[in-house]
Structure 1
Amino acid sequence: MKHNYLSDKALKVSFLIISLFVLVFIIVPLARLVLFINPKTVSVIEQSSVLEAIFNSLSLSFICGLISIGVGVPFAYLLSKNFFKRFNKFVETISDIPISIPHTVAGIALLFIYGKEGIIGSLSYKLFKFQITGTRIAITIAMLFVSLPYMVNAAKESFKSIDKELEKTAKMLGASEFNIFKDIYLPLSKSAIYSGFILVWARAISEFGAVVMLAYYPMTAPVKIYNAFNEMNLAR
């Protein structure tokens, strides 16, 4: 079969044009944001409330990442071992739903559970006079709900890729399930879990829709930006 160098060159050129378009599509809005800052924007950034909102986003998203390791990794391990048998695929699909639904809808769903009239929210208020909504706990819950699948998927795929012969050998030598998990699966999946943590943190820190439904106050950075945009008309 004769090699067509002309078609190869045309392919590379067309892909280069597409790549340049992608880069321009990403860079231009970001450059506009950084290089041409509105004086109103500067005055907003200097407010102490903005620093508090940034701190809330950074700290609570970090906590969310730690929680995702604690609950997401064990769950991912069970999924990778086909623990739920014929329902395993169904459980995997359920765990991915928070990624696919609009996050304002996710916030409303969480409100039905953790709101003052919700199942858990009402119980918390009746027993402890503690209202979950409008607290940092509510923000963390909203962040975790929309970002947890990233940890589960990262850890699950890593667990699945591990050579099963290692596990068989460990069992032949008398290793317990816990030791196999601790000494084989966790060390070999460390980089994937770190990547999952970064994905969870990045997704949580940018979350707006679910957070604003559960806790407008205390503000996170995305909520504060939205609030300032409306109050000070930063679009002009």
Structure 2
Amino acid sequence: MSQAIYARVLFIGPGLSRGVSAERLRQRVEALLGEAHLHDSDQGADSFWQAVNEAPRPLLVVDLEPRADAAHRDWLREQIATRTDGASVFVVCTALEDAWLDGLATVLERVESHTPCSDVPAVPAHHAWSQIPPHAQRLLLCNGPRCTRQGALGLWKTLRQRLKAAGKLECEGGVHITRSQCQFPCDLGPTASLYPQGEWYGIRDEAAVIRLVDERLVAGKALPELRIDQQGG
């Protein structure tokens, strides 16, 4: 069990100071470890960094950020390494779900998945990543949870392919496209907002994406029937 592996386990993630899920996590951690050290990232990071600095070693940090990936994990490792001896602190990222709680013991015991906060690779640099892509318009396609559930990822691929085929993808006079987090009118989505015009569109299927590209972004025609920021949109 992790008590024998780590002197302490810290959990950080959104909403860990309130709600049913946070209470279930607290109870489960206390049952496994005898104590629970939970830090709500929505409340700021000061208390978390203080806890990291004061915790006995070796230390395991369990990051419950829902959208944590390898890049986020390495950022967290780097931040820890700049504040303390990273070799004695380990990080594992996972999403907090009710079903996951049953496997919490396994997550804590799988030391091969715990990454030390030392020898963190540097952020790769490339000339293209230091330049603003040429464009005349910018389209933000929502990839928040609800829009993703309604097929936004597949629509993103169609959007990119269609613009590229039309010679309008991130070029002079073209369109710079970006996937965004939640844009809020989820029930009307997947949503896309176009700038500098400030127009909002609901693109529910591939046919709508094709019309948006061909008629609005390439031909410059109005598409009032796809607008969600106008009456009847």
Fold shared per TM-score above 0.5: no
Q: Which has the higher helix share?
A: 1
Shorter-normalised TM range: under 0.3
Greater relative contact order, per chain length (Cα 8 Å cut-off, separation 6+): 1
**Higher strand residue share:** 2
TM-score (normalised: structure 1) = 0.24
